Amino acid sequence: MLLIDERPEEVTDMQRSIDGDVIYSTFDEEPEHHAKVAYMVLERAKRCVEQGQDVVILLDSITRLARAYNLTITRTGRTLSGGLDTGALLMPKKFFGAARNVEEGGSLTILATALVETGSRMDDMIFEEFKGTGNMEVHLDRILQERRIFPAIDIYKSGTRREDLLLSKTELEVTYNIRKLMYNEGNTAAVTEKLLSVLSKTKTNKDFFDILSKSPELLK
């Protein structure tokens, strides 16, 4: 796990909770230190992949990493909305784009968080630059979080590419029906709450999909 510009207490909590390496640069460090730590983690991950290992990097967050590069790079003279220099996104994109499956080698998976609805135009620009570049997106819902419904995932906005390779025909049909229902109802929070209720009553994914394929009205 790579924590950039994070609170020290959050770092300690992660170190005690995660069975893995936690590399960090806290918010009291210089932006140059943030960039250096990120580069070090990426290079180490690449060497592990070359040795045939499967590596996963959890980055929190790519927004803060881009902010750090925005303060450290040599200015290009081209500034986007919010004061974001166009050159500041080069290294974060290289970091995120390093994820791949290597033939006759290992693989590198990168899961990165992005900050949204912070009131900062720069954060919005960073999010828009990375939106749609990943193979999977998970959107969190503030309304669900405020209602203490966890996991607070906006299922309608979340998804993965080529889900047809991951799910069976029945599972795909149920998934499409859930999305249609959320669109028609116009209330993703209510549908998600009912969905979690059904999940809590089943022990396996197969049981869950079997119930919803036979009784889709449970979510209405």
Residue 148: per-residue pLDDT: 85
Domains contained in the chain, CATH given:
1-134 (3.40.50.300), 135-220 (no CATH)
Backbone angles phi, psi at 5, to 5 degrees: 60, 40
Find how far residue 66's CA is from the centre of its chain.
15
Asked if the model's pLDDT at residue 153 lies above 80, the reply is yes
Question: DSSP strand E in 87-218: where?
Answer: 100-101, 107-112, 136-137, 159-160
Residue 106: per-residue pLDDT: 92
pTM score of the predicted model: 0.80
pLDDT-based confidence at residue 8 (cuts at 50, 70, 90): very high
- In this structure, how many other beta carbons lie within 10 angstroms of the beta carbon of residue 5? 20
Lowest mean pLDDT among 48-57, 88-97, 173-182: 173-182
Mean pLDDT over residues 32-51, rounded?
94
Residue 147: per-residue pLDDT: 84
Mean pLDDT over residues 104-118, rounded?
90
Residue 130: per-residue pLDDT: 87
Q: 3-state DSSP call for residue 142?
A: helix
Asked if the model's pLDDT at residue 215 lies above 90, the reply is no
